[in-house]
Amino acid sequence: MSDDAVSTVLGIDIGGTKMAAALVSADGRILTGDRILTPAGGADEVFAALAELIDKVRGDATPLAVGIGSAGPLDQTHGLVSPVNIGGWRNFPLVDRVRALVGDVPVTLGVDGHCFALGEFWTGAGREVDTLLGIVVSTGVGGGLVVDGKPLIGQSGNAAHIGHVVVDLDGESCACGSSGCVEAYASGPRMVARAKRRGWRADEAVDAAVLAADAAAGDELALATFDDGAQALAAGIVATAVTVDLTTVVIGGGVAKAGPILFDPVQAWVKRLAQLPFVTDLSVEPAQLDNAGLLGAAHQAWSTLS
């Protein structure tokens, strides 16, 4: 076994679209890793796929600790997860099941948005700041805060869940059971559904990447839908900024790959909504890492060893 293999932790990133795992060094290098699509199905079927991924990635290595970032909500105290976008897992004992696979090493659990923010803070766009809001816009909308260099976790482990900040009291229903949440307007699937209701590619099997491509080509319905999502994101961002007093926001996830189609209207709406003097310089920028959530989960694991 190599020295690198000895001095690693296992980072795991679980979302509604994909699951990823990697062995990560203390300086944030991914030494070996892989990802798979998150399967549909029952609790054991989803976990079996994750277990196969973990076994493949760690091989003969014995990681010193394991860090898990999962879509939420979760119960951090008891190691349970109930991801909105993974229907098979409700109060699923993820920490215990992973510990049974990897042996007697520390296993930490955090919301995927927290891990994304922590990863960007560690080695990405947040390296130069001590407080930031990280947002993941993908199948859902997740978030995380790093305040004075430390992740803001909250009592249950679900702090900064910006996707479920209500921005429209009479708004569209959300998968969480509420109405008018940021996620109901800004997640990839919800933007596609909204555009289809307006008549955009109504009978086609398309996704947010196609919506973004059409918006970039000037399609008015696609552009209007991205603007709606951007407005919801901006409202959630400004609400968080005035609460926490921060100036840096980093956005990643699959929908963020739309680039200026998303970021231009988000920045315009933030400028319009952020009027208090201490948030008028609010910076919204794209993530620098494709694997921030994975690295943030690994950072959690290394923190248990320090």
Tokens of 278: 């201490």
pLDDT at 297 over 60: yes
Range of the domain at 274: 125-286
150 and 273 both lie in a single domain: yes
The set of residues, in sequence order, having a beta carbon less than 8 Å from that of 124 and lying 6+ positions away, is 250, 287, 288, 289, 292, 295
**Residue 10 domain-assigned (yes or no):** yes
Four-residue CA torsion sign, 256, 258, 260, 261: negative
15 and 83 both lie in a single domain: yes
pLDDT at 219 over 90: yes
**Residue 164 domain-assigned (yes or no):** yes
- Greatest alpha-carbon pair distance for the chain in Å reads 59
Distance between CA atoms of residues 68 and 79, nearest Å: 10
Four-residue CA torsion sign, 176, 194, 145, 272: negative
200 and 264 both lie in a single domain: yes
**Residue 27 domain-assigned (yes or no):** yes
pLDDT digits (tens, 9 = 90+) for 29-45: 999 999 999 999 999 99
> pTM value?
0.89
CATH code of the domain containing 59: 3.30.420.40
Four-residue CA torsion sign, 184, 188, 193, 198: positive
280 and 147 both lie in a single domain: yes
Give me the number of domains the chain comprises.
Answer: 2
pLDDT digits (tens, 9 = 90+) for 114-132: 999 999 999 999 998 999 9
